[in-house]
Structure 1
Amino acid sequence: MKHLLQLIFIPLLLGAAAGAGAAGEPIVLNDDCPPGFELTAGHCELRSLYQMYPSLQDAGVGGLKTGLPQWRDGFTPQQTDLGRYLFFDPVLSRDGTVSCATCHAPDKGFSDGLGRSVGINGSVLPRSAPTLWNVAFLNSFFWDGRATSLEGQMLGPLFDKHEMGSDPQLLLETLNGLPAYRQLFAQAYPEDFVAADAQIRLDQVYAAIAAFQVTLISLNSRYDQYAHGYADALTEPEIEGLNIFRSFVARCAECHTPPLFTNQQIAVLGTPEPVGMPFDPGAEVPLNEPTQRGGFKVPTLRNIELTAPYMHSGRFATLREAVAFYTGGRGHAVPEGEELKIHWHIWEPNLTDEELDRLVDFLKTLTDESFKPEPPRQLPSGLGLVHFEVADAGDINNGEEDHE
């Protein structure tokens, strides 16, 4: 059975030509920082209990009170809010049908619920959309790690002909042709809009979207409450799952290292592709390194409960299937004819069904959407919010039969 894919537009009356909101007044950018950030000298700076703890090198792998890696912040509230409007606005795509939020929907863990994302004209993409939670801490982006900054990453979807399909000239012409956006950019970058004929620049677009993305912080789950010392935050089965997760038998924490639950490295796991899909060489291509064939970035497990299906092409529909893969034996799913350099952490832990169940119990304690932002009630372009829905969420392989 194939997916029933629906693009749903919510009409909004904006009066965009005059830069007006629904009530007939100009849109004014927020001058407060998002939750989890403090306004300091006009800029938003992250505040988290994890900033009190020692670094990973000092705390050890899997430690509860482990400090955060370097992060990005320091944008103004106005730049952050402008990025929110841009993130949700399909005007950034060539045909006005796809926004950043189409593939990174807040209600789906900032993913899209698909094993393979869908771009303009219904184009099915080769990989799934990674979550955007906690991207402020990441040092590389995409499943194959080919981008080293948020600004570099966003060039891919914005200008790929199968994703949002725009190009730099078209994007600038579109935004500069909308008085509402010219007014908003002047609010976010007042020093650059002193002259009446000042134009929106690409670097301002990229920076604003990045400013919004770095505020997507998820560090207040029940696990975090437990890590900070509240012993009753987790149940006994969940604590058992945490202990399995941290054990040298399962070795989950060696790659999915707290507090981000990723070590940000490329790992060759040997996960199977859905039936009918060719083998994905992964990081081998951008790195030009044969030993990284089939290698992909270790994803964060934050909000993992919300981002099914799992792996780079959505091979596993449930968390239970995903964790069971790791106890199937080293390289057990490598396709015939492929000789992969499987990551040394992957071995044969021989976990029982009960232990796998406890792992899933623990992974669900990493869910935290307390800082989930609200989509704009109106968009400066005059377009409506776009929602991408999968009518048959059980069919994750875009028409292909599943297999064991």
Structure 2
Amino acid sequence: MGRAVMRLILSILILMPMLASAAGQWNLSDVCPAGFRPEQGRCYLQSLYGDYASLQDSGVGGLKTGLPPLREGFTPQQIDLGRLMFFDPLLSGDGTLACSSCHQPSKGFADGRGYSVGINGQLAHRSAPSLWNVGFLKRLFWDARASSLEEQMEGPLYSPIEMGNSREQLLRSLQENAHYPNLFKQAFGDPDISLDRIYTAITAFEASLVSLNSRYDLYANGVHEVLNQDEIEGMNVFRSFVARCAECHTPPAFTNQQIAVIGAPEPEGRPLDSGVQGVSGDASQRGGFKVPTLRNIELSAPYMHSGRFETLREAAAFYTGGRGHAVPPGEKLSLHWHVWEPNLTDRELDLLVAFMKTLTDESFMPALPKAVPSGLNPVGVPASTTNNPDSGH
């Protein structure tokens, strides 16, 4: 009964003219996001890393190593439409959740939880990874089961424990809304709203979340005075063949995009998460997960697939606790060969943390919408931001 009432309220809101934009029509931005250059009406990343050699066969990633290919070439309007939908709870089954519920700008586009909270307060199975630089990734989800952003977003949208929507309701909600058909016309040339176009627009926005202007990046591109001595020493520990951090968290993406079985402990009382094995069926990948980027890692605590570690210091210390020290009794995991016993000192662990904090950069944070076309409150946006609604820019 409660859910039926929520759907009735949602259907009424869909048909209501949006009060915030009553003074005029919603107009999508025709300007590329910060860090992107326009080229024949589409947006392409502009970065010094584009001048360097490819990341392929680059070992542990030198200071002047190129990035993986980025999903780019979207129009400014497609990116802006995706931005609005990303924060709009109309995309959930009951109008209470948005993509930004689990990927909050203020928390490194993660949500600060070990297990994300979905529809009706249900717990997801794993933590929400950061979306910064997600457009560079070849595999998505902790268990790497999706190979594109479009494929990935179908998971949370239609999961009964995440956003709880259906394809039919999603289409109907957007098609019957007073504003979205015109916004799709601005983004795609006609007002037809299809699932493919929904996925394309959200992909366009997510791929624009680029973080490449940290103090580390300034250092890597020749401005050496931006790092202090501890941070430089921390970088040297990070890249050393003792700690071996860079073998998996390879600069400049700070992930090699591979699967690693590291034997991280689960929260108290939780059974071992089978990880990639649950997708592939390969016993050698039991407990394996995709290596996450360390970009903006300072902002996205807690850490690991289950949020097992509250601080960067705890997460770094795990790797010097002894190979397989946290593997549950009776489990025989095929631990990654980079996971060994470096015996790092407390001082070296502190230096590692200092270095990882140099990877923080939110200079290309997108504009947070003060209103969304559904008329519902945008999710993950500070209340003070929503006092003066905008018209979509």
TM-score computed with the length of structure 2 as normaliser? 0.92
Deviation at 1:61, TM superposition (A): 1.6
Deviation at 1:57, TM superposition (A): 4.0
Which of the residues 327, 332, 348 maps onto 1:334? 327
1:373 alignment counterpart: 366
Q: Tell me how far apart the structure 2 counterparts of residues 171 and 121 of structure 1 sit (CA, whole Å).
A: 18
2:25 alignment counterpart: 26
1:235 alignment counterpart: 228
**Does 1:322 find its partner at 2:342?**
no
Deviation at 1:149, TM superposition (A): 0.2
Which of the residues 254, 262, 270 maps onto 2:263? 270
How is 1:5-404 mapped onto 2 (pairs within 5 angstroms)? 17-18=16-17, 21-22=20-21, 24-57=23-56, 59-190=58-189, 192-193=190-191, 199-387=192-380
2:391 alignment counterpart: none
Q: Determine helix, strand or coil for the equivalent of 2:247.
A: helix
Name the aligned partner's letter for residue 359 of structure 2.
Answer: L
2:6 alignment counterpart: none
Q: Tell me how far apart the structure 1 counterparts of residues 298 and 315 of structure 2 sit (CA, whole Å).
A: 12
CA contact (8 A) 2:297 2:357 kept: yes
CA contact (8 A) 2:14 2:178 kept: no
Name the aligned partner's letter for residue 156 of structure 1.
Answer: G
Name the aligned partner's letter for residue 320 of structure 2.
Answer: T
Deviation at 1:332, TM superposition (A): 0.5
Q: Tell me how far apart the structure 2 counterparts of residues 86 and 348 of structure 1 sit (CA, whole Å).
A: 46
RMSD (CA atoms): 1.5
Name the aligned partner's letter for residue 153 of structure 1.
Answer: Q
| Bigger RCO (CA 8 Å, 6+ sep) | 1
Deviations 1:39-59 (A, max 9, x none): 100001111100001123464
Deviation at 1:19, TM superposition (A): 5.8
Q: Tell me how far apart the structure 2 counterparts of residues 20 and 34 of structure 1 sit (CA, whole Å).
A: 27
Deviation at 1:388, TM superposition (A): 9.4
Q: Tell me how far apart the structure 1 counterparts of residues 147 and 51 of structure 2 sit (CA, whole Å).
A: 27
Deviations 1:165-188 (A, max 9, x none): 001001001110102111111111
Q: Structure 1 residues 20, 52: CA separation in 2 closer, same or farther (over 3 Å shift)?
A: farther
Q: Tell me how far apart the structure 2 counterparts of residues 188 and 31 of structure 1 sit (CA, whole Å).
A: 10
Q: Structure 1 residues 388, 280: CA separation in 2 closer, same or farther (over 3 Å shift)?
A: farther
Deviations 1:207-250 (A, max 9, x none): 00000000000000000000000110100000000000000000
Q: Percent identity?
A: 62
Q: Tell me how far apart the structure 1 counterparts of residues 174 and 224 of structure 2 sit (CA, whole Å).
A: 51
Deviations 1:338-388 (A, max 9, x none): 100000000000000000000000000000000011221111001002349
Query: Which blocks of at least 5 consecutive residues in structure 1 are unaligned?
Result: 1-13, 194-198, 390-404
Deviation at 1:337, TM superposition (A): 1.0
Deviations 1:132-159 (A, max 9, x none): 0001110000000000000000000000
Q: Determine helix, strand or coil for the equivalent of 1:386.
A: coil
Q: Tell me how far apart the structure 1 counterparts of residues 111 and 18 of structure 2 sit (CA, whole Å).
A: 30
Name the aligned partner's letter for residue 239 of structure 1.
Answer: I
Q: Tell me how far apart the structure 2 counterparts of residues 292 and 61 of structure 1 sit (CA, whole Å).
A: 23
Q: Tell me how far apart the structure 2 counterparts of residues 18 and 312 of structure 1 sit (CA, whole Å).
A: 41
Q: Tell me how far apart the structure 2 counterparts of residues 388 and 354 of structure 1 sit (CA, whole Å).
A: 38
TM-score computed with the length of structure 1 as normaliser? 0.89
CA contact (8 A) 1:273 1:279 kept: yes
Structure 1 ranges of 4+ moved more than 3 A: 14-23, 57-60
Deviation at 1:287, TM superposition (A): 1.1
